[in-house]
Structure 1
Amino acid sequence: MTDAHYADPRLVALYDALNPFAADTQFYIDLAARTEASRIVDIGCGTGLLACELARRGYTVTGVDPSHAMLDIARRRPGSDRVEWIEGDAAQLGATTADLAMMTGHVAQVFLDDASFEATLAVARATLRPGGRLAFESRNPAVSPWAAWTPDLSRRVIDDPRYGAVEIWQQLTEARHDRVRFDTRYRFFRDGDTVVVPSELHFRSQAALTEALVRAGFSEMEWFGDWSRSSVDHASRELIVVATRD
């Protein structure tokens, strides 16, 4: 079943307000420059913020995402005409080639089973030229990031130009090892409607991510624990990897 975060037009409309241009966006823009990439694939491009920004800077960009609603927003962004948009999963990339592939927005956590995650990594590798790089991030399960997913700690209110004020909070429903289930609640003040979206995520350890990357055909890996490129340690909230194709 499709997560309503990526299908319900009201929730998709809130996505950019909840996920604005921030340190993670800048990290990937800087990475494109540092690796001297020219062709970039954004796997799970969502509403296209990063893809359009990269295209604006002169890169040849392909954005792929299974959400029709999110791509609708992406296609309306300034500069969207410079991006090739593909509706579907990574397998739809076909003969697309790239110097750099990205999976941002913690999309790695959405793959609940290892087979689908590793199939996506394999497609990314096939897309990359020899020596090309794949970059993505996942939250570090060692620090239990889901501990803050309580109504008191996660509650916030945003003001959307179309839907007005919306109160949003999360409620953890199950946490077992590296799998977490939780509800996100959206209360629309204007019409009094409340939407509850159940979600499940898979938080893989650095070791598990490394093993998956090696099986997919990546060798050299750079790891960072935050968007300032600090080394990973026991307190790192992020596991950010830049992996090189064999």
Structure 2
Amino acid sequence: MRDGEFRDPQLVPVYDAECPWGPDDDFFLSLVTASLVTGSLVTDPASAGTPPARVLDLGCGTGRLTVALAAAGHPVTGVDPPGPALAAARRRPGADRVTWVEGTSASLPPAAFDVAVLTSHVAQVFVTDDEWARTLADLARALGPGGRLAFDSRDPAARAWERWNPVDSRRVVRLPDGREVRAWTVVTAVHAGVVDFTHHYAFPGGEARRSSARLRFRGEAELRASVEAAGFAVERVYGGWARQPVGAGDGELVVVARRLSAPG
């Protein structure tokens, strides 16, 4: 199954167990809190009197960060295609504080948000240049003047996919009910910045599941050019969750940009 971690009810709990709160969530939560300070990001937004931000979490998945943003006092909209992942998000404690939307960036209302985030490498799901350009254009339309956009994408220079093999990727995922699921990943193709791979899952009792996916790895220059072409000014590109320089962090490209004006 394609993207089974979000479409297969049996794999959604595995994804949640394997992807708990981490430093990436800390980064985006702090960035959103600081995002409305004019002209820069600050380390103490409370002392600066920052008001709550109208937040869009595009590709919110099972809503781990989405509900945390709402708990911090922000009006939050989580958008994801309909399916088991979004159903799980709606069941999270605190989910009633979030506006959940079944859909894609194409259905976003204009000038409705102050901050938009795409986390957990959702930006890499848009494989073709046209898909990515349309998504960025939708986000530019959905953000008000000066609105902030932040997203993460794996740095192709780190060649993360080379570790997606049955040896290096083998892991055991413990589910909340105590069951242990054995998992590993196999890359099936690499071409022109696009990586195809399959996650394998072995459940107790011998039941097996597979989830295939395709991701685009864009370098810093390509990301900057695409974001700027959509009407944003790139403010920062970090290499990791502690705001390290590119190439000196966690193998990430964490982009923070500001909308300059309405496209067109």
What's the TM-score, normalizing by structure 1?
0.95
1:208 aligns with 2:208: no
Offset of 1:3 from its aligned partner?
2.2
Offset of 1:22 from its aligned partner?
0.4
- Residues 167-201 of structure 1: CA distance to partner in whole angstroms, max 9, x if unpaired? 01001111224111111100002x31111222211
1:81 aligns with: 96
Conserved? CA contact 1:163–1:188, under 8 Å: no
Q: Any runs of at least 4 consecutive aligned residues in structure 1 with deviations exceeding 3 A, and if so which?
A: none
Which of 139, 143, 148 aligns to 1:133? It is 148
Offset of 1:90 from its aligned partner?
1.1
1:175 aligns with: 190
Matches within 5 A, 1:228-243: 228-233=242-247, 237-243=251-257
Conserved? CA contact 2:241–2:250, under 8 Å: no
- How many residues in Structure 1 have an aligned counterpart in Structure 2? 245
Conserved? CA contact 1:46–1:67, under 8 Å: no
Offset of 1:50 from its aligned partner?
0.7
- Structure 1 residues 67 and 156, CA gap change in structure 2 (3 angstroms): farther
CA RMSD of aligned residues (A): 1.6
Residue range with higher mean Cα deviation, 230-239 or 53-62: 230-239
1:39 aligns with 2:89: no
Of Structure 1 and Structure 2, the greater helix share is in 1
Offset of 1:215 from its aligned partner?
1.3
- Structure 1 residues 72 and 236, CA gap change in structure 2 (3 angstroms): closer
Distance in 2, Cα, partners of 1:77 & 1:166: 22
Offset of 1:236 from its aligned partner?
5.4
What's the TM-score, normalizing by structure 2?
0.88
Distance in 2, Cα, partners of 1:116 & 1:88: 15
1:122 aligns with: 137
Distance in 1, Cα, partners of 2:185 & 2:218: 21
1:160 aligns with 2:175: yes
Amino acid at match of 1:80: A
Q: Which runs of 5+ in 2 are unaligned?
A: 37-51
Offset of 1:5 from its aligned partner?
2.2
